[in-house]
């Protein structure tokens, strides 16, 4: 069992803003499950509904989006998430526009999280040299960064939101998942099974469940074994002063 402590002396509200259904569980599901077990409140906001998450040219995108939203809600229940929101942006075409930054600023001011979780926009090449990072993951991270600071906490950014009753709000911490350069690893060995159970809810995405489990269980740290595995998730953690 890990002796790592986040150093939080109270229950936190955690807002997770990522690109697609299944991103929360793949990127940081073990950590999110850890926080839920600790009693923190977690809310998901997915920028898209994942309507391009298929290789079948005959798949109806609107139907797939509805399926993937339900898959995400089911996975969130496994993790212990209190609520899931969707911003219904087009899958595959996220860009850090002013309009979308405003939408995310609105969301941050509405939810008033202590902790904001996103994805690192600098991660172009995941470890392993076998793939590149999805452009939506990078764009979503940039949108979250730009909304978090300085816009969400400043009254002079999007002052029209004040008329909606949304006062500026500054988060205490920013946790960027799948980082290009991490400054923190969280041991999630104790919650890896919860992560896998949640990922099984994403049936349209994982393929054969047994083969999927074999791949995921093999992702233990290099200093552990199949018989005694240890699993971690990496972050770039920013604690605002």
**Residue 2: per-residue pLDDT:** 63
CA triple 169-236-156, angle to 5 deg: 25
What value does the mean pLDDT take over residues 17-21?
A: 98
Q: Could you give the 3-state DSSP secondary structure of residue 110?
A: helix
pLDDT at 18 over 90: yes
What value does the mean pLDDT take over residues 191-197?
A: 98
Strand partners, 143: none
Q: Is residue 5 part of a domain?
A: no
Backbone angles phi, psi at 79, to 5 degrees: -65, -35
Burial of 172 (0-12, 13-18, 19+ CB in 10 A): middle
Pairing of strands 173-177, 232-239: antiparallel
Indicate left, alpha or beta for 127 from its phi (over 0: left) and psi (-120 to 50: alpha). beta
Q: Is residue 176 part of a domain?
A: yes
Q: Is residue 136 part of a domain?
A: yes
Range of the domain at 69: 13-239
The C-alpha atoms of residue 165 and residue 54 are separated, in whole angstroms, by 40
Q: Is residue 102 part of a domain?
A: yes
Q: Is residue 8 part of a domain?
A: no
Indicate left, alpha or beta for 141 from its phi (over 0: left) and psi (-120 to 50: alpha). alpha
**Residue 12: per-residue pLDDT:** 98
> What does the pLDDT look like over 101-137, one tens digit per residue?
999 999 999 999 999 999 999 999 988 888 999 999 9
Residue position matching structure tokens 């093999």? 218
CATH of the domain at 23: 3.40.50.10320
Burial 81-117 (b: 16+ CB within 10 A, else e): beebebeebebeebebeeebbbbbbbbbbebebbbbb
pTM: 0.96
The C-alpha atoms of residue 132 and residue 178 are separated, in whole angstroms, by 12
What is the end-to-end Cα distance of the chain in Å, rounded?
30
Q: Is residue 2 part of a domain?
A: no
Tokens standing for residue 188:
């999630």
Longest alpha-carbon distance in the chain: 58
**Residue 4: per-residue pLDDT:** 87
Domain count, the chain: 1
Backbone angles phi, psi at 174, to 5 degrees: -125, 125
Q: Is residue 217 part of a domain?
A: yes
**Residue 232: per-residue pLDDT:** 97
Residue position matching structure tokens 């971690």? 232
Q: Is residue 181 part of a domain?
A: yes
The C-alpha atoms of residue 226 and residue 54 are separated, in whole angstroms, by 31
**Residue 1: per-residue pLDDT:** 45
Q: Are 91 and 136 in contact (CB under 8 A)?
A: yes
> What does the pLDDT look like over 49-80, one tens digit per residue?
999 999 999 999 999 999 999 999 999 999 99
Q: Are 14 and 115 in contact (CB under 8 A)?
A: yes
């Amino acid at each position: 069992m890990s002796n790592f402590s986040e150093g939080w002396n109270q229950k936190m509200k955690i807002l997770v803003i990522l690109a697609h259904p299944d991103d929360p569980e793949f990127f940081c599901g073990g950590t999110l499950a850890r926080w839920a077990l600790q009693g923190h409140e977690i809310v998901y906001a997915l920028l898209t509904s994942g309507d391009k998450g298929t290789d079948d040219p005959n798949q109806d995108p609107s139907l797939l989006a509805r399926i993937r939203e339900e898959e995400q809600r089911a996975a969130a229940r496994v993790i212990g998430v209190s609520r899931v929101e969707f911003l219904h942006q087009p899958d595959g075409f996220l860009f850090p526009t002013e309009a979308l930054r405003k939408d995310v600023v609105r969301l941050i001011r509405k939810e008033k999280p202590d902790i904001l979780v996103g994805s690192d926009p600098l991660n172009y090449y995941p470890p392993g040299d076998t793939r590149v990072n999805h452009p939506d993951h990078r764009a979503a991270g940039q949108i979250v960064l730009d909304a978090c600071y300085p816009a969400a906490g400043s009254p002079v950014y999007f002052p029209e939101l004040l008329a909606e009753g949304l006062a500026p709000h500054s988060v205490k911490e920013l946790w960027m998942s799948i980082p290009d350069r991490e400054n923190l690893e969280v041991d999630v060995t104790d919650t890896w099974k919860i992560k896998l159970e949640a990922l099984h809810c994403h049936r349209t995405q994982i393929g054969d469940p047994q083969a999927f489990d074999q791949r995921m269980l093999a992702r233990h740290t290099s200093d552990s074994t199949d018989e005694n595995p240890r699993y971690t998730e990496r972050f770039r953690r920013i604690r605002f002063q």
